[in-house]
Amino acid sequence: MNIAIVGATGLVGSKMLQILEERNFSIDKIIPIASQKSEGRLIDFCGKKYTVVPIENSLNEEIDIALFSAGAEVSLKWAPQFKRKGIYVIDNSSAWRMSEDIKLIIPEINGNLLESKDKIIANPNCSTIQMLMALAPIHKKFKIKRIIISTYQSVTGTGKAAIDQLNNEKNNIKGLKIYPHQIHQNALPQCDIFLENGYTKEEMKLVNETHKILSDKSIKVSATAVRVPVFGGHAESVNIELKEKTNCEDINFLLNKTDGVVVQDDPKKNIYPMPINAEGKDEVFVGRIRKDYSKENSFNLWIVSDNLRKGAATNTIQIAEYLVKNNLIKK
């Protein structure tokens, strides 16, 4: 199996290489692809060195699966060209997520939808992935009527330039600012650009992607996305209103049985999920599960995950693993 990483030198691309190695993905050859400024750079993978090639030259390579994480513009231009060569594309950008003929996949939730004809597959937004990892089993059993979510998102979700801005501000160093305001010791109620409806693109991703992945547009979703000066992962405060009656114990029991979810919920011992503990892990952590006494049959949850791993690289690789395991790669 020959795997290409498009955006191999970026934060998520580098994480993909790391996770492919960790998970012992069966690979004959890695093809690291990046912009022309990274051409010729050497990438270490499983004890071997591979030379970065520009995307313009990459279609000359023998590739089975291409993992894209180089932004929507690159994906829109190049994913169809890879598809025409018979290459399976799993795209981590927003380019294809809401296209009607492209599947938006979290393997634990809707991987069963995948078919060999799916040559372009979309990876959901990081915040959506961790939220739905916790909410999908609840929705399946108790039917979610409404979701109110506030996110507290790591600067790593913006990329290396955002990490540099935070570090520069912490150390009083002048440098490029990727955010419109200081992020050090601050919280910005803006992730991505504002739309005409007053919400940001990130907030609307949580709305639209939830409807698509759960195949249920009746769920009401209201989102506020906030950028915070942390590195380890995203945190989310989530309030849900259910159609079917249940209790905290049932929700706790259900989540404890859910693959990829870890419940950390013992307030008496100050045990609850935190980004600093989620960093470097693939699981989604859930805690602070409690009844909302202001509205009938409603509950609050606190959901945390490493956005570069399960929120991006790990989920992308899990999709590739699903394709291989189920013999869906057809040339």
* Active-site amino acid positions: 126, 234
Half-sphere exposure (Cβ direction) of 8: Cα atoms closer than 13 Å: 30
Q: Is the dihedral of CA 121, 211, 294, 244 positive or negative?
A: negative
Q: For residue 138, what is the enclosing H or E element?
A: helix 126-142
CB distance 123 to 213 below 8 Å? no
Closest CA to 79 of 68, 94, 92: 68
Two tokens, residue 97: 């997520």
Q: Is the dihedral of CA 281, 283, 287, 293 positive or negative?
A: positive
The DSSP call for residue 125 is P
The DSSP call for residue 61 is S
Q: Mapping DSSP to helix (H, G, I), strand (E, B) and coil, where does residue 105 land?
A: coil
Cα distances from 313 to residues 29, 137, 177, 210, 251, in angstroms, run 18, 22, 26, 19, 28
